[in-house]
Amino acid sequence: MKGTGDNVVTPQGNLSDEDFNPWLRVVDLIERAGSLLELDRGLIQRIVTPERVLEVAVPVRKDSGDIEVYTGWRIQHDTSRGPGKGGIRFHQSVNRDEIAALSADMSIKTAVVNIPYGGAKGGVKVDPTELSRSELERLTRRYAFDIAQFIGPDRDIPAPDINTDTQVMSWIMDTISMLRGHNSFGVVTGKPLAIGGTLGHAGATSVGVTICTLSTLRNLGEDPVGKRVVIQGYGKVGAPLVRLLTDRGMKVVGVADIKGAISVPGGIDPAILEQHFLDAHTVVGYPGADVVPAEKLFDIPSDVAIPAALGGVITEAVANSMAAKIVVEAANGPTTGEGSAVMKERNIIAVPDVLANSGGVVASYFEWAQDLQGFLWEPEVFARRLEQTMQSAFDHVWAKRLQWGVSFRDAAIAVGVERIAEATTLRGLFP
C-alpha cells in the first residue's frame, strides 16, 4: 500500500538549474499529467506518493581492516501494475531525492511500454573506483542483505544501472539465494547467461533509443540517412549507439565522455572509435577529430542530440544553444525544467527518457519471464518482441501527443499516469 504523507513532496514552482531537484521535477510532471487527464486530487496524490522508502547503513570492512559505513536506499514507488522494477546504482552523488525520482520514472516507464511492472530504484552513495574488487563484493552483498526482505521475483526486481553490471547482479542473486536456501534467479535481471540471463539484454537500451530516433524522423517526414547525431556519453548505452545509428545511414559527428568531447563533421567510424577507446580509455584523441569543450557538445551542428550520461545536463543555457531540433533522452532525467521549457519554446522535439530508454526495462521483463518459465528464448524471438514492444509504445505516445496537443514529454508522462491511475482505481483502497 502507499506510504504515509511524510514521503510526499509538493512541487514548489519552477526550480532554477542551480537548485535542480529531480524529485520535485518528476512530481511536477505527474501533477501536470493528472491535470491533463482530469484525475481526482486524491488519486493524483496516491500516484505521487512512494509506497516505501528504505534507507540502510551499509558497513564494509576494507582491505586495510578499517570499517567504512556507506548509505544505501531502495525506494518502491508504485506496484499497482506489478512488482517494482528498477536499477541499482553505485555513485558518489546518489541521494534520496535522486532515487525517489528515478523510482517514479520507472513506474511511468513500465506503464508507457505497457509491461506488468511497477517502479522502484536503489543505490549506494559510494565512489566504486575507490574500492578494490573484494571491497566492492562485500559492499554489494551487505547492501543486498539489508534490502533482502523487500525484494523478490514477485515483489521488487533490481537490475544494473550506473557503475553496476552483470557481476554485481550475480553477487546480489547469490546473496538472496543463500539467505532463502534456494536459487532465486528471478530476483534480479541483467545477469550473465550462465545463471539465468538472457540473449539480447546487453545493448537493449541502445536498440530502443535507435527505434525511437528513427521513428521520430520518419513521423516528421525526414529520411534518417545522412542525418547528423551527437551523443553525450560513451558507456553501456552511448557506445552501442554509435554503431547502431551509423549502420542505419546516420552520421555521428560528436561524442563526449567524462574526459572530454570530440567533433568529427564527416562522421565517426564506430570500429576505429571502439579500438581507440580500448587503447586510450577516452574518446579524446580519436584520429582527425577536433577537441571541443564537453559543455559545448550540443552546440555542434547536428540534427539529433542524444544525452546518454547523467541527469540534469540539458540546462537552460545548454537548451538555448542546442543545435539539434530533435533530442532523444537515452539518459534518465537529462533535462531540467528550465531546459525543457526552452526546448519547447524553440520547437525542439524531445523524446522523453520514460519512452526513449525503456528498451532496457523491456529486456529485463523478458529475462524475468524466461527465469520464471525456465525457458530461454532464441535471439531472434527476443529481438522481434523488443522491437514490437518499443514500436507499439512509440506509436501510441505519438498519437496521444497529437490528440492532446501537448509536448512529447507531457504525452508520455500522461500515458503512464493514465495506466497507473486505471490500475489503482480498479484495485481500490484497502481497507
Q: Domain segments of the chain: what residues?
A: 50-195, 204-356
Average pLDDT over residues 302-320: 94
The C-alpha atoms of residue 420 and residue 49 are separated, in whole angstroms, by 13
Average pLDDT over residues 39-59: 97
State the average pLDDT for the chain: 93
Q: Indicate whether this model's pTM tops 0.75.
A: yes
Q: Are strands 156-160 and 228-232 parallel, antiparallel or unpaired?
A: unpaired
Q: Given 3.40.50.720, 3.50.50.60, 3.30.200.210, 3.30.420.40, which CATH number is that of 204-356?
A: 3.40.50.720
Q: What integer pLDDT is reported at residue 16 of this predicted model?
A: 43
In CATH terms, are 50-195 and 204-356 the same topology? yes
The C-alpha atoms of residue 243 and residue 22 are separated, in whole angstroms, by 31
pLDDT band at 19 (very low <50, low <70, confident <90, very high): low
User: Which residue has better confidence, 235 or 2?
Assistant: 235
Q: What integer pLDDT is reported at residue 20 of this predicted model?
A: 67
The CATH architecture that domain 50-195 belongs to is 3-Layer(aba) Sandwich (3.40)
Average pLDDT over residues 406-415: 96
pLDDT band at 145 (very low <50, low <70, confident <90, very high): very high
pLDDT band at 7 (very low <50, low <70, confident <90, very high): very low
Torsion angle of the four alpha carbons 171, 173, 177, 182, in this order, in degrees rounded to the nearest 10? -130
Q: What integer pLDDT is reported at residue 333 of this predicted model?
A: 86
The phi, psi pair for 124, rounded to 5°, reads: -130, 135
Give a three-class secondary structure readout of the chain. Answer: CCCCHHHCCCCCCCCCHHHCCHHHHHHHHHHHHHHHCCCCHHHHHHHHCCCEEEEEEEEEECCCCCEEEEEEEEEEEECCCCCEEEEEEEECCCCHHHHHHHHHHHHHHHHHCCCCCCEEEEEEECCHHHCCHHHHHHHHHHHHHHHHHHCECCCEEEEECCCCCHHHHHHHHHHHHHHHCCCCHHHCCCCCHHHCCCCCCCCHHHHHHHHHHHHHHHHCCCCCCCCEEEEECCCCCHHHHHHHHHHCCCEEEEEEECCEEEECCCCCCHHHHHHHHHHHCCCCCCCCCEEECHHHHHHCCCCEEEECCCCCCECHHHHHHCCCCEEECCCCCCECHHHHHHHHHCCCEEECHHHHCCHHHHHHHHHHHHHHHCCCCCHHHHHHHHHHHHHHHHHHHHHHHHHHCCCHHHHHHHHHHHHHHHHHHHHCCCC
* Each residue's pLDDT tens digit, 105-138: 999 999 999 999 999 999 999 999 999 999 999 9
pLDDT exceeds cutoff 90 at 31:
yes
Q: Which one-letter amino acid corresponds to residue 329?
A: E
Cell of 404: 492532446
- Show the CA angle centred on residue 391, arms to residues 388 and 392, nearest 5°: 80
Q: What integer pLDDT is reported at residue 311 of this predicted model?
A: 84
The C-alpha atoms of residue 251 and residue 259 are separated, in whole angstroms, by 22
* Each residue's pLDDT tens digit, 343-383: 999 999 999 999 999 999 999 999 999 999 999 999 999 99
pLDDT exceeds cutoff 50 at 399:
yes
Q: Which one-letter amino acid corresponds to residue 270?
A: P
- Taking Cα atoms as reference points, which of 9, 7, 46 lies closest to residue 423? 46
Least confident window among 8-17, 169-178, 321-330: 8-17
**Known catalytic residue at 121:** yes
pLDDT exceeds cutoff 90 at 329:
yes
Average pLDDT over residues 258-271: 96
Q: Which residue has the cell 506488468?
A: 116
Cell of 421: 491511475
Torsion angle of the four alpha carbons 332, 338, 339, 344, in this order, in degrees rounded to the nearest 10? 110
**Residues above pLDDT 90, as percent of the chain:** 91
Catalytic annotation, pick one of 109, 121, 227, 251: 121
Least confident window among 11-20, 203-212, 308-317, 418-427: 11-20
Q: What integer pLDDT is reported at residue 25 of this predicted model?
A: 87
Q: Which residue has the cell 522502484?
A: 120
